[in-house]
Structure 1
Amino acid sequence: MDISATTERRWTFLTNHARVLVQIARDPGIRVRDIATRCLLTERAVQRIITDLEEDGYLSHERRGRTNHYSVTAGKQLRHPADAGPTVAELLATLLRRPADGRLDPAPPAQESSGR
């Protein structure tokens, strides 16, 4: 029996850590449950990823009432030696389509309607 014919290799361009970081960058007050839903992960997996990101200094959180508010360490360089150089801000700028300084892109100019 040819196992390779029945087994399909699956891979993605982004890691789960990158996906979680993107969701937090989009909404610093996001709940773990919502991150899990958007990233198609379990809540427990998201909690482990957040712990990893915090332990390595890519993320921190502050308790605000009953919720966490996360802060991404934008100036931190990417972890893998092959990725040396770019910062988290530069990665997020690409993935979120915003400038590396963290500002949101300005709204496109309004289309003028012709009143004639």
Structure 2
Amino acid sequence: MDNGTTAGRQWTFLTNHARVLVQIARDPGIRVRDIATRCLLTERAVQRIIVDLEQAGYLSHERHGRTNRYSIIEGKQLRHPADAGPTVSELLSILLRRYEAADSGSSRL
């Protein structure tokens, strides 16, 4: 009988790329170290993801002194053909509503 878990195979609904993008959307001045901590990733993995997102045209950054300030390219379409239609900003608005509700103590879906 299947109890809903598969030994040896773990998966999640959101990719690490989506998690990093959500953290940047929440705080465009966030440090790589803080993204890594919040997403449970290494700093190096976060750096690679940021490069991926920039090369794909979802993200850009600008140096401000010793820190980066990130900008999400809001009109960019989602990457996979099966996800065609919504933009990255539309997806982020849904995900950010959930985070904002959690921050305010509300648990509505």
TM-score over 0.5 (shorter chain): yes
Residues 1-116 of structure 1: matches in 2 within 5 Å? 7-97=7-97
TM (norm. structure 2) is 0.82
Partner SS, residue 97 of structure 1 = helix
Give the helix-richer structure, 1 or 2.
2
The runs of 4+ residues in structure 1 deviating greater than 6 Å are none
Greater C-alpha radius of gyration: 1
TM (norm. structure 1) is 0.77
Measure the CA separation in 1 of the matches of 2:82 and 2:41: 27
Partner SS, residue 54 of structure 1 = helix
Q: Percent identity?
A: 84
How far apart are 1:9 and its partner, in Å? 1.6
How far apart are 1:97 and its partner, in Å? 1.2
Measure the CA separation in 1 of the matches of 2:9 and 2:54: 31
Measure the CA separation in 2 of the matches of 1:42 and 1:8: 22
Measure the CA separation in 2 of the matches of 1:74 and 1:80: 16
How many residues align structurally? 94
Where structure 1 has 5 or more consecutive residues not aligned to the other structure, the ranges are 1-5, 99-103, 105-116
Where structure 2 has 5 or more consecutive residues not aligned to the other structure, the ranges are 1-5, 101-109
